[in-house]
Amino acid sequence: MSTATTATTTDNPLLQDWDTPYGLPPFAQLRPEHFEPALRAAMREHLDELAAIAGNAEAPDFDNTVAAFDRAGRRLDRIAATFYTLTASATSPALQAVQREVAAPMAAHGSAVYLDAALFARIDTLHAQRESLALTPEQRRLLERIHLDFVRAGARLAPAARLRYAQIMEDLATLTTRFAQNVLHDESSWQLALDGEDAMAGLPDFVRAAARQAAADRGLDGHVITLSRSLIVPFLTYSLRRDLREQAWRAWVGRGEHAGEHDNRGIARDILRLRNEQARLHGHACYADHALTDTMAGTRQAVQRLLDEVWPRALAAVEREREALNELRAEEGQAGGEIEPWDWRFWAEKVRQRRYALDDAEIKPYFPLERIAAAAFDCAQRLFGLRFVARDDIPVYHPDVRAYEVRDAADRVVGIFLQDNFARPNKRSGAWMNALRLQARNVAGAGQQLPVILNNNNFAKGSPGEPTLLGLDDARTLFHEFGHGLHGLLSDVTYERLSGTQVLRDFVELPSQIFEHWITEPEVLQRHARHWKTGEPIPLPLVERMQRARRFNQGYETVRYTASAIVDLAVHSLADAEPPADLCAFEAELLRAQGLPHGVGLNHRLVHFQHLFAGSSYAAGYYVYLWAEVLDADGYDAFTEAGSPFAADVAARLKRHIYASGNSVDPAAAFAAFRGRAPTVEPLLKKRGLLPEAEPA
């Protein structure tokens, strides 16, 4: 430990040993002012560890260089994971200020690690000798991945280019932090007050209850609609007040597009400009070419082929859906004018109720949050032998968070799971999984590093004394994130760099998306979907109606998703050093040229597209959900073919090859080992109702 670190351990809990159950962060002791000095001290400690590896007088070998590199920086990892968990899930102005302050230094630290010439020389030497080193397959995979990490971070650039590359990464870290904070500002500061019964016309009880709780969370009386997805989507679906629907919709799609301090338009352009320069330093014409070299797809052309397979089919499906909406509008005497974006969900719900006698207000009482979470736990036990045991003594950062000890079939503790399900003003939107600690066996001394996995959702909390009721989409979201969580919890690898979700970006969504299938299995619904008041199981006729409606409005949903993927790929495929002067105009013109139907819209506009601009993980990669859906639709068919959603042999293969292997195996080989062959696209098209013989939308 460095002298600087030692000097601060006595008064900074982040730099002391965490004497808590399973070594979780001592959240109750942490203050915003602890983080910057702790992060700086941990960065210095990490560099000292790496200097010892680079300066080792012995010739490089796997153990003294590659495995040692994988072990280095664990203190920094745990402090940074704690910090970024709080800035995402329970932030404050003080934490946001620290986040802005440390963004550039943290990026500079990453560059100092991966642009260390002496360290890379040792790794490069071993990489060149890898055929003759008698490595295990996992050791070779680790060497290859770490070597590629260095190369992609600029280790092979000329000295002047390395300096410029490091500056680019610092600037990007600052800009992406500002982008995310601007979106959070717009989401947390906007609200639509529903003054009186007229403003709440058409809203079912569950929406009213959520709006009342949202107001209470903000210290207000009455009811408010916020930009939380689990509140605004039901409002757009049920509200009879078209003027208020338009107002809410415009606020939702306008996040990040406001002149002034929180305007993301210039920030997004700056990010694109720097990414283009980053790609050119690597010898690529555009950022997409650089980003896609380390994916299953590999090239822009492969991604475009997938989008081209789906886009025209989705356009045809959405026009069939529009016809159904217009027929109903005509019947109700409202046939004049176009269906606007704030109208589509409203009329689609009416069609769904008429065609399938299906209404979310009928479904939701059978989907209380506690039961759906229990359903996810039960599926994990039946498939993989896991038990989730509630532990009230494990420290958490907010009263909303539930902590669980995760035990395997032999009753051994294999990890800790934290679930944070509710929307809050100080929490970013969306749903995600992250790790406070990754699974690994490559640790100092004996033993294993247990994973600590966190799921975040943003469900609208029910009123006091009443449960939080989920719609089917919310339930799918919970299962989706839980699938990511299982990917982290079931990881069974030696090296931290290969652990859990640290796989190629277009493979990472497979474990999450395939797990979604179980929430719609009739067997699971009958077992867990029970009325929150009576305890009665969901009626079989209702389950059958849900099954018949499973492809309803899929044209609309597919167009919205694919449109966002098209925009992402296009904007990151631009070869010009200077991005378009007006990104909003670029987006609108591109979608017009692609034939985006009026009234449908897209999932994310560039000005609030956090997948792309709050970090780089999904930049030029939003297509990955569709790519992974090819894998998950085909993969789940293995259970269908086996005759049971809990077929033991299929579940064992799924666990071993998909959930447990992390990045220790090439993803194409991992899928083939699970499925017995490469995937085909037909199950995806069938699932989304995009094949000619599929049930009409």
Q: Which residues are catalytic?
A: 481
DSSP of 236-265: HHH-S-HHHHHHHHHHHHTTT--SSTT--H
Nearest-angstrom CA–CA distance, 32 and 109: 21
CA angle (101 as vertex; 98, 103 as ends), nearest 5: 105
Nearest-angstrom CA–CA distance, 140 and 145: 9
Q: Which long-range contacts (CB under 8 A, 24 or more apart) does 341-344 make?
A: 341/249, 341/253, 341/599, 341/600, 341/601, 342/236, 342/242, 342/245, 342/246, 342/248, 342/249, 342/250, 343/242, 343/245, 343/599, 344/556, 344/599, 344/600, 344/601
Tokens of 528: 């867990």
**Nearest Cα to Cα of residue 611 among 620, 600, 601:** 620
Q: In angstroms, what CA-CA distances link 657 with 52, 532, 654?
A: 36, 38, 6
Which amino acid would we find at residue 90? A
Tell me the three state secondary structure of residue 421.
strand
Q: In angstroms, what CA-CA distances link 45 with 37, 449, 450?
A: 12, 20, 23
User: DSSP label at 462?
Assistant: P
- Phi-psi region at 408: left, alpha or beta (left = phi > 0; alpha = psi -120 to 50): beta
Which amino acid would we find at residue 676? G
User: DSSP label at 537?
Assistant: B
Tokens of 660: 């447990």
Nearest-angstrom CA–CA distance, 554 and 689: 7
DSSP of 31-96: -HHHHHHHHHHHHHHHHHHHHHHHT-SSPP-IIIIIIHHHHTTHHHHHHHHHHHHHHHHS--HHHH
Q: Percentage helix, strand, coil, to 5, in the chain?
A: 60, 5, 35
**Strand 452-459, strand 413-422: pairing:** parallel
Q: How far apart are the first and last CA of the chain?
A: 63
Tell me the three state secondary structure of residue 407.
strand
